[in-house]
Amino acid sequence: MKRFDLHIHTKYSKCSKNDPSKILKIAKNIGLNGLAITDHDEIKGAVKTKKLNKDKNFEVIIGEEIKTPQGEVLAYYLNKKIIPSNIEEVLDQIKKQGGLAVLAHPFALIRKSFQGDIQKIKNKLDGIECFNSRSFFYWLDKKADKLAEKYKLAKTGGSDAHFGFEIGKGYTEFQDNLRTAIKKKKTYITGTYRYSLAGDLLSFFTKRVIKNVFK
């Protein structure tokens, strides 16, 4: 069984301090088999992390967390940055690149939650994030799980890490190939919410107080 953290931010997200080389070191040390870098509306950190990875047995996915008026979308296996837009347009852009599209933390309270009509986009989605280790109100992930069940979408999990200590606190397990597992809805999610409040507070401080540190 492989274990991937599918929601990690680098210093290219203004609310994060994670350096790509540090992310790789931590992820491998804790036994992950791969990860997705999903910076806010940016893929520079993902591209850099992928280039730094020299381990053929460890996969780095170029991803992005894209903001839309209806909510945020996690995109995986991108070739170029997705431009923020209406959620349907964003999903179409992801598909044109042959990527995978996952609805991020649909019932979040502190972060952007989903405000659209899932009936209109369900056929363009590959999955729903059903475990996010920053979900302080963990029962909201349970609602996301039920949503995935209702619309027969794959379930994904990730840490939403913005700092090193958060990496791997949420993850997705699957056999063999992630693309295939998501398409066949053969993914399993788990992790811990223990560090959720600490991570959120640090991100708030980083974004609001020292927001000009990272170029």
Other C-beta atoms lying within 10 Å of the C-beta of residue 171: 29
pLDDT of residue 15: 83
Q: Give the model confidence (pLDDT) of 117-136 as tens digits.
A: 899 999 999 999 999 999 88
Domains and CATH numbers, the chain: 2-208 (3.20.20.140)
Any idea what DSSP says for residue 84? P
Burial of 117 (0-12, 13-18, 19+ CB in 10 A): exposed
- Bridge partners (DSSP) of residue 101 are 75
The ranges of the chain with pLDDT < 50 are: 210-215
Q: How far is CA 76 from the centre of its chain?
A: 9
d(CA 16, CA 116): 27
User: Nearest 5 degrees, angle CA 22-CA 136-CA 8?
Assistant: 25
pLDDT of residue 214: 39
d(CA 19, CA 3): 21
